[in-house]
Structure 1
């Protein structure tokens, strides 16, 4: 979520106010963390009317079979390009590498991206961005696909935890500018893990 909050925030600011003290829902650290961010007026992408009634996002049940080890083939000479977003803004990205992995007995590949702007922000120089779409989109999950954040590994492997897949902020509020999942990052399978579609009030 840090990647999205820093790089893709399309709103000017959110006013601060006292936070309610209702317990944060969630069965995993990821679920509790994202729910806490959505409840907090200073970090929430939700519209005010949705935030006021917000109890927690809807998640698939944690499934360890969606935690996979991927082989990373780095692409150091890949060019920078303008990734399209849901607004007129273009996000300067490059393919950092290609991830190859097996999920439920089938082989898949995904491109993983590095953002030029984020590389220049202290503390985020090693962040990578993994957008993907799958066959749950438009049904159980947001139609535009979902994102996963990770970091540059020291080795040539990366753990992909699809249980931490989250929606672009524009799934909650159209004033945000969110990168559109590249066509080559479509997985021809159902990823029944992570955040489900948000049902607005």
Structure 2
């Protein structure tokens, strides 16, 4: 391993540590709007200055912050994970340049009564080392990133809260205000797992990070 590789690995470790801390603060903040504002500021700081930021170098100098919609409490849900649609695939593999084929297994479905209509999203488990819950979404809002966004990716720290009842029911906090663009929205060298059929909806979700935030004001 070269000194450059070691430095890069250490930067990624620090990035993950900071993201985990940011989401821990979100979960510990009682008022969701305040938590969302702290999350937005924290992500802006990380993307602007951290050596592991996915922002390309030429975009960092003029970076003035991500375009994130105002918080809307109507898009925050605490929902149980239910049985998935048996007609959809139960697993998929995402091909990446750094980690090869990354397997995911479907755990179930969440049903979100969004203002514009009901949204059904599959919940996935990272079926390899480390595990973790993964919840992406691709919606019809015109300002959403075309490749889809992530709401939960717990192995990387994006965790808004999970509870398990005595009967085994698992409930997730799914707050779409915290939907964010994956790293491939900023740097084409990244290969990101994208929403599968069960994570695509014709319902517009006009909250969270906006697509224009990946390209404008840099």
TM range (shorter): 0.7 to 0.9
Deviation at 1:109, TM superposition (A): 1.4
Residue 162 of structure 2 contacts residue 171 of structure 2 at CA under 8 Å; is this kept in 1?
Answer: no
Is 2:81 the counterpart of 1:66? no
Matches within 5 A, 1:1-201: 13=8, 28-73=37-82, 80-84=91-95, 89-104=100-115, 106-117=117-128, 120-121=129-130, 125=131, 127-136=132-141, 139-149=142-152, 150=159, 152-155=162-165, 156-197=170-211, 198-199=214-215, 201=218
3-state SS of 2:173 partner: strand
TM-score under structure 2 length normalisation: 0.68
Q: How many residues align?
A: 171
Q: 1 CA distance for matches of 2:118 and 2:190?
A: 34
* TM-score normalised over the length of structure 1: 0.73
Whether the aligned pair in 2 keeps the contact of 1:69 and 1:157 (CA below 8 Å) is: yes
The structure where helix makes up a greater share of residues is 2
Looking at structure 1, the residues matched to 184 and 113 of structure 2 have their Cα atoms a distance apart, in angstroms, of 30
Pairwise CA RMSD of aligned residues?
A: 2.9
Per the TM alignment, residue 32 of structure 1 is displaced from its structure 2 partner at its CA by 1.3
Structure 1 pair 108/41, CA: closer, same or farther in 2 (3 Å)?
closer
Structure 1: 5+ residue runs without aligned partners?
Answer: 1-11, 17-25
- How far apart in 2 are the matches of 1:175 and 1:13? 16
Q: Quick one: structure 1 residues 27 and 69, their matched pair in 2 at CA, closer, same or farther if it must change by over 3 Å?
A: closer
Alpha carbons of structure 1 residues 179 and 105: separation in structure 2 relative to 1, 3 Å: closer
Gaps of 5+ in 2: 1-6, 12-34, 153-158
